[in-house]
Amino acid sequence: MAERCALDDDPDISAQETSELAFHITDDFERDLKRFSQTERDLIADRINFYCEHLINDKRFFYQNTYVSRLIRLQGDFDSSLYILRLNPEIRVVLSVDDDPIFGQIIVTLFRVVKRKNIDKAFNSVAETLYKGSLKDSTIHA
């Protein structure tokens, strides 16, 4: 699953080129979500929608609110499209963002939703599962 990093794309892509969002939700994300209260689940859904809607017209805003816990370099000089989205001071989401220009979509895959104290472990687990055998270099991001 080695794809170009979304940050390599022009952040000023217009809405005409990419007109819709497609969400993919993993079983792990759904399991994690059940561990939160209904109030927290509502907040999680609202914040994910709020940030991801900006992928259509203002990618820069979206990426200003994401980070990675480790810098991942893949074979073939591809970058990872895996990010951490900070929803509030205590809740984080591990997700990927991939442009699909053929179908005019931005695909957001939600992998995990966890408390801040568990984010590094969740991010590393997803990264190792996704990129097993494709890692060129993997260093901790300061």
Instruction: Enter the DSSP assignment of 48.
Output: H
Top pLDDT among 70 and 44 is at 44
Instruction: Let me know if residue 9 belongs to a domain.
Output: no
Q: Which domain holds residue 32?
A: 19-140
Residue 4 belongs to some domain of the structure: no
Average pLDDT over residues 55-78: 76
Q: Is residue 31 part of a domain?
A: yes
- Is the CA virtual torsion 86, 48, 5, 15 positive or negative? negative
pLDDT at 141 over 60: no
pTM of the model: 0.77
Q: Is 2 part of a structural domain of the chain? A: no
- Would you say residue 54 lies in a domain? yes
Beta bridge partners of 77: none
d(CA 106, CA 135): 24
Considering its fold, how many domains does the chain have in total?
1
Q: What CATH number does the domain containing 131 carry?
A: 3.30.2310.20
For residue 115, being part of any structural domain is answered with yes
Q: What pLDDT shows up at residue 44?
A: 98
- Read off the pLDDT of residues 16-43 as tens digits, 9 standing for 90 and up: 454 799 999 999 999 999 999 999 999 9
Instruction: Check residue 77 and give its pLDDT.
Output: 58
How far lies 36's CA from each of 12, 39, 53, in Å? 35, 8, 23
Residue 13 belongs to a domain: no
